[in-house]
Structure 1
């Protein structure tokens, strides 16, 4: 496919004027993809932005009011969408937690590294984690003067071998595992999992609130350089505990400590009402951090991205998509995605361009003026030119795989195989986002072409063990 992304010369010339200096960016209208309204960059000059990347955990495609939820109210995220750009076809790089996070941290397909192979990382060993020598979004931004922090869920490998502090983040406060009890802070392994850096710390505060408080404190500091904050909430990931559900927490924690390693998955718990409270609390706490940006005068020059690490779990609202977390159906990988940068992006806009997690890594590096490591080439495509310089959106194939499933999207077409050795399917996901009309028999040559492309992309990736 033709790649029509931005030219680094144009965007870097506008935005990278040194580690702490402001670069003048001449705003021009951005060319929208065919079939959608034009959206425009905001006028005026802009500094290299602070970057706030907010990642929800297992949030479903339509769990926000602005994406169609009939019951859950999310006024803060809805306001974020109104004040920026809402993507209708945003995707996660993986169908479960850690592969997507590895893609965000590295800008590459999850299976470029052993860290991206587990689905998800669930054990302490020397293999399953992001190697400290691998460049990351944080380490590359540090080379151009950014201060970096990760608050919340890391899920890139366990101590003693792996840590955000060894992969480019200046500071870390949060959990190493894929999930933990919201009050006791015990993980699925039955061990305490709350750390300040690499030192364990104690807190019985509801975890979503604790993370938000720590993020607000970071935002309110006096910063002398632009900063990156990866704010990785665990909400609304199981266990199904809303604020105040301490009795539920005690029950789940007791089962964990008794040796039930599946207790945290909470198969006998939760409800639609509990889930609503969890998502609405997440929205409130995101609003808390966004308010700190505004009150400290940083809102205009902070680029905020909000997304989820994969599709929704069993209480999520995903209509009209089919499938949930762990599936390569649309409901497992299409996620709410919102971008706001008041200095450069006009408010109230919607984009139907397909974008995927590792695109954001490439985009943020380009906007900040950081160069990827040539020994670790990116798989994501920068959207900087599309967003800021009037370029057409990059045209390329989007690729996914799990141990059993495969998918590739090209334009409106999605090639899908849901079981190893299973039958190839073809869907027009623009007309049929629910993936109900299998058009493979009508377009056998296209199926063959997309299958061959999937095989070509997959060939150099690491095999599952």
Structure 2
């Protein structure tokens, strides 16, 4: 059995829950994980490639390696066995576009006007092309850069990946689209190659997978960054065989007379099911498997860092046990996400890490691994994990911070400060109470006040929300 840490033990709410907590009991005996330990010796390598894969609204326990009892994800489980599976990894926010801002910039979403949108929903909002990004900083050091899939940081003509450091873009600008027609949340066509519309009526996950397979299989002459952002399993809940249902949704979008009607058509509130959601997650897993196989065939697998995560917590059909909350809120279910890192040249497999990390940390980490320097005018909010992953250096205790309109949250060690939508403050010990049910604020008022004051100090440096 893998080692069960105090943090993992906090989720053991009964014998029947054991298989769900941190995915530990879900890992087959032959693939048992061990606590993370950096490799003591590693061969010299050149600068690595980066394959950063995001699922969309994928919940923390939606992978079988994280405890899902009904979803089978053999390719992502294999990826976890070949690298490090993080149990206490978080998204930068509780919704899609703010987390993407935090990944692309390495900063809190509230540092930029576009990051205040939760999520970006009109043509006036977006990531300022003048702001340095992971892609633009890597490109300055000689990296080739591409983004395939969901951008969700603004629409043309003002915003686009190609305006923010990516050499190539193939995908959608908005937060959601119908998987076959490619009609998006503004009611118009939203599939682009560069800045030109592109037509392909096949299932979107299939189209993105083909593009990613082609990109990683090229004869690259420079190290590369590929952001591969799937929309799966975000609503509308459609699988590859659901073209007829997709056509019905597309017809409703075309007939819509308001933004609300478009959103209702895409969300299809009477649609979806656990079975359909399972089918979508399993198709995401198969897609990732195809891309990873193409990477293996290309001969670049050994020196490519693969990072897989979700952009926020799960939604209606996700399997989130034992977490409380879901997408949109800062309870654990809204921000704790499955996260896997693999780098065969430098990191051993079959490992599990319980270190609390969040999206901006990965930006800082990839920049350091590439030898790229952040822009001093735009200091990062993330902490590079390079010393931890490669040299076994202990991560100093720090505060992980989140702010959305409805909630606030801060984590320090096992302690979490959380303010709910009613403005009530709570204090949880995640090491003993992963489900956030026992409010210890009345018992530890000094600690609650200390964490709240830390949250307010950080928030004071961010942009205020517009009225």
CA distance in 2, matches of 1:349, 1:38: 5
Q: CA deviation at 1:232?
A: 0.3
CA distance in 2, matches of 1:276, 1:257: 29
Partner of 1:387: 389
Q: CA deviation at 1:43?
A: 2.6
Within 5 Å, give how 1:97-108 maps onto structure 2.
97-108=96-107
Q: TM-score, normalised by structure 2?
A: 0.90
Within 5 Å, give how 1:291-306 maps onto structure 2.
291-306=293-308
Which residue of 180, 191, 209 maps to 1:183?
Answer: 180
CA distance in 2, matches of 1:332, 1:430: 18
Partner of 1:39: 37
CA distance in 2, matches of 1:450, 1:409: 8
CA distance in 1, matches of 2:276, 2:391: 44
Partner of 2:29: none
Q: CA deviation at 1:46?
A: 1.8
Q: TM-score, normalised by structure 1?
A: 0.91
Indicate yes or no: 2:164 matched with 1:167.
yes
* 8 Å contact kept, 2:36–2:84: no
Greater helix fraction, Structure 1 or Structure 2? 2
Q: CA deviation at 1:390?
A: 2.4
CA distance in 1, matches of 2:386, 2:35: 18
Indicate yes or no: 2:210 matched with 1:213.
yes
Q: CA deviation at 1:38?
A: 4.5
* 8 Å contact kept, 1:381–1:394: no
Q: How many residues align?
A: 427
Note the residue ranges of structure 1 that are not aligned, 5 or more in a row. 1-35
Q: CA deviation at 1:61?
A: 0.6
Deviations 1:427-462 (A, max 9, x none): 011211110000000000001000100000000101
Q: CA deviation at 1:37?
A: 3.0
Partner of 2:427: 426
* 8 Å contact kept, 2:38–2:388: no
* 8 Å contact kept, 1:383–1:394: no
Partner of 2:414: 412
Partner of 1:239: 236
Partner of 2:269, secondary structure, is coil
* 8 Å contact kept, 2:37–2:392: no
Indicate yes or no: 2:465 matched with 1:464.
yes
Which residue of 281, 289, 303 maps to 2:283?
Answer: 281
CA RMSD of aligned residues (A): 0.9
Note the residue ranges of structure 2 that are not aligned, 5 or more in a row. 1-33
Partner of 1:425, secondary structure, is strand
Partner of 1:39, secondary structure, is coil
Partner of 2:58, secondary structure, is coil
Deviations 1:172-216 (A, max 9, x none): 000000010000100122111000000001001100110010000
CA distance in 1, matches of 2:282, 2:114: 32
Q: CA deviation at 1:39?
A: 1.3
CA distance in 1, matches of 2:186, 2:129: 24
* 8 Å contact kept, 1:154–1:177: yes
* 8 Å contact kept, 1:188–1:263: no
* 8 Å contact kept, 1:152–1:231: yes
CA distance in 1, matches of 2:186, 2:223: 37
Deviations 1:67-104 (A, max 9, x none): 00000000000000000000000100100000000000
Partner of 1:32: none
Partner of 1:27: none
Partner of 1:123, secondary structure, is coil
